[in-house]
Amino acid sequence: MEYRGHFSIGQKENFHYNYSVTQKRSIFACVLVFVIILLLNGFMRFSAGRAANFGGGLLQALPMAAVGGVALYLFNVIMIYVRIRTMYKKNLMQPFHQDVLIDSVGLHATSERGTMDLPWANIGTVQELGNLFLFFVSNTNAYVIPKKQMKDPAAEAATIRAILREHMDASKLKLLG
């Protein structure tokens, strides 16, 4: 069983990749900011006498802490978008086309940048998101296969999943279907 596809990798695909890589850290930072704002503001309200007890101070600080956490999350997403867009405007990154073959040996990609053969043993994890597959070689390097560019996304994604389940350890797969 094998899969062949032709894809264009541009700003949108790079944004989704960068977002997925930083998502866990971003959410952790937002939760941390939420807790810090909640505790500090709650304690300040209690010690200033605006709340009868510490629990009341925490309850009063809850809206501000929620706004702080959400604001940090939105800031992170906007900064990822701005960074990717700036890199494309400065020609530090450029869109490219790639032909992909996934077979019993591994992932093979050919583009104007060159050819890459990635055996199954060199693939760290494979993550499937709603609109793309990410083949991670390291924590910060992945090959992207956009589902939206597939002719029949449901059938082709099922084929890729079947190949992955056949050739990779289940602990390395984070698939939707």
Tell me how far apart the alpha carbons of residues 145 and 101 are, in angstroms, rounded to a whole number. 11
Residue with tokens 């043993």: 121
Q: What is the mean pLDDT of residues 42-59?
A: 90
Beta strands in 48-166 (DSSP E): 96-102, 106-111, 114-119, 125-128, 132-136, 142-146
Mean pLDDT of 72-90: 96
Residue 140 reports pLDDT greater than 90: no
- Both tokens assigned to 100: 């992909």
**pLDDT at 30 exceeding the cut of 90:** yes
Name the pTM for this structure: 0.78
CB 13 within 8 A of CB 146: yes
Q: 3-9+96-174 architecture in CATH?
A: Roll (2.30)
151-161 pLDDT tens trace: 999 999 999 99
| 110-125 pLDDT tens trace | 999 899 999 999 999 9
Write the CB contacts of 172 (distance below 8 Å, at least 6 apart in sequence).
123, 124, 125, 126
The predicted structure's pLDDT at residue 139: 80
Pick the range with the lowest mean pLDDT from 42-56, 62-76, 78-92. 42-56
Question: What is the per-residue pLDDT for 167?
Answer: 95
pLDDT at 9 over 80: yes
| Under 8 Å between Cβ of 21 and 79 | no
Mean of all residue pLDDT scores within the chain = 93
Task: Using alpha carbons, list the distances in angstroms from residue 72 to 31, 33, 48, 107, 165.
Answer: 10, 8, 27, 37, 37
Q: What is the CA radius of gyration of the chain?
A: 22
Query: Residue 57 is encoded by which pair of tokens?
Result: 């101070």
* 177 pLDDT more than 80: no
